[in-house]
Amino acid sequence: MSILSDFLKEVDEGYTVIATSGRVVYANEFMVRRGIIKEEYEGKPYYECFRVLTLISAVAEGLSEKRRIATSFEHEEVEYQADVFPAGDGTLLRLTDITKFKRYERSKKEFVANVSHELKTPIAIIKSILETIIEEEKDEGKRRLLERALKRTEDLRNIVEDLLIITKLESGEEKLHKKMLNAKELVSVVFDMLREIAQNINVELINEVDENTKVYADEDKLNLLLLNLVDNAIKYNKEGGKVVVKARTEKGYVILEVSDTGIGIPKEHIPFIFERFYRVDRSRSRELGGTGLGLSIVKHIALSHGGKVEVESKEGEGSTFRVYLPQSI
Ligand SMILES: Nc1ncnc2c1ncn2[C@@H]1O[C@H](COP(=O)(O)OP(=O)(O)OP(=O)(O)O)[C@@H](O)[C@H]1O
Ligand SMILES: [Mg+2]
């Protein structure tokens, strides 16, 4: 026991044990040194000891619901991750200083935002120069080469545009223009945009959304969200497969569901597919022209609307993506 308490004294994380009665049994040095708990904590109720409101609510929830709670907060310019675990007769709280990690995350995002912004203009210039030369080029061979260069420039522009959209949504800079939209119509617009690609690989598009389903959202953003989900559902499908879109209302949310009968996503990849540039099968994705930004856009659009996105998938059988959007105004 003394080895353990020596370890907890030195360790660079905070630990606190709270009994079912709500009294604090133990807190390590970190908790006191960082000013998160009062020095005189022993045997006192946790809500009198913690100096951070977020922790009081997290512990209250952990004690009453007996499940793991994860949250984060800032205290005296330090950012913390807090995890509350049910343990024995009470609850264990663990605090981790995530300031460096958050700073790194922010600088990574800023870097991507700056680079994307700087690339936008040169790419647009190259594209317009190539278009002009192609028009004037008489030599068939040279024109084919220039057309290839133009296609690659367009791919590059699309990547930069996707990154800029993600950056803006993430920073909250992008203002949403929400209004009541007809979900069935939205889906049929997206189907029309992708019908040719679907027909080329013999995939059937089925719009099962009820005519009366309304969704309160930004039209362009929701169109982009559906476009990415339906594009994936076609691209990762099988010859003769199906894509079905449904919608339902549940507990204050409109749930849009895009299902396919495609290749599915192996379980171990599911936690990562919403990350930027993540692709399950790189060679297949490259062949299909994917960069791995689509689902990141989907996630950020759902989050910026106060919603979320979930996925269920079975390898070899297909996938279902569910987007939850709050119904209220
Ligand atoms: N419906 C689906 N069925 C099977 N795998 C999928 C499905 N949707 C996404 N994936 C997997 O998740 C990865 C990430 O998807 P995402 O849409 O972000 O990227 P992408 O389609 O490769 O490229 P992009 O959308 O940027 O053109 C894909 O590469 C694919 O491996
Ligand atoms: Mg995609």
Instruction: For residue range 12-50, list pLDDT tens digits in order.
Output: 999 999 999 999 999 999 999 999 999 999 999 999 999
List the strands of the sheet with 90-97, edge to edge. Answer: 24-27, 14-18, 90-97, 78-87, 69-75
Residues 132-150: tens digit of each pLDDT = 999 999 999 999 999 999 9
Residue 95 has pLDDT above 90, yes or no: yes
pLDDT of 66 reads: 87
Contacts of 97 (CB under 8 A, 6+ apart): 12, 13, 78, 79, 80
- Residue 329: its pLDDT value, please? 58
How does the average pLDDT of the chain come out, rounded? 93
Q: Which of 254, 250, 179 is nearest to 221 (CA)?
A: 179
Q: Which residues contact residue 308 at a Cβ distance below 8 angstroms, ignoring those fewer than 6 apart?
A: 302, 323, 324
- What pLDDT, on a 0 to 100 scale, did the predictor assign at position 172? 84
- What domains can be seen in the chain, in order of their start residue? 2-97 (3.30.450.20), 101-171 (1.10.287.130), 178-326 (3.30.565.10)
Which residues, including other chains, have CB under 8 Å from residue 39's CB and lie 6 or more apart?
32
Question: What is the distance in A from the centroid of ligand 1 to the CA of 96?
Answer: 33
pLDDT of residue 286: 66
**Contact by Cβ (8 Å): 25, 18:** yes
Average pLDDT over residues 277-299: 84
- The answer, yes or no, to whether residue 254 has pLDDT greater than 60, is yes
How close is the Cα of 231 to the center of ligand 2, in Å? 6
| Cβ burial, residue 238 (10 Å; 0-12/13-18/19+) | middle
Atom 4 (ligand 1) nearest CA = 264
Pocket test for ligand 1, best of 194, 295, 300, 311 (most atoms within 8 A of CB): 295
H helices, E strands: number in the chain: 10, 12
216-225, pLDDT tens digit by residue? 999 999 999 9
What residues are in contact with ligand 1 under a 6 Å CB criterion? 228, 232-233, 236, 260, 262-265, 273, 278-281, 285, 290-296, 319
The closest-lying atom of ligand 1 relative to the alpha carbon of residue 295 is: 18
User: What is the strand order of the sheet 242-250 is part of?
Assistant: 204-207, 242-250, 253-260, 318-326, 308-314
With beta carbons less than 8 A apart as the criterion, state whether 63 and 18 touch: yes
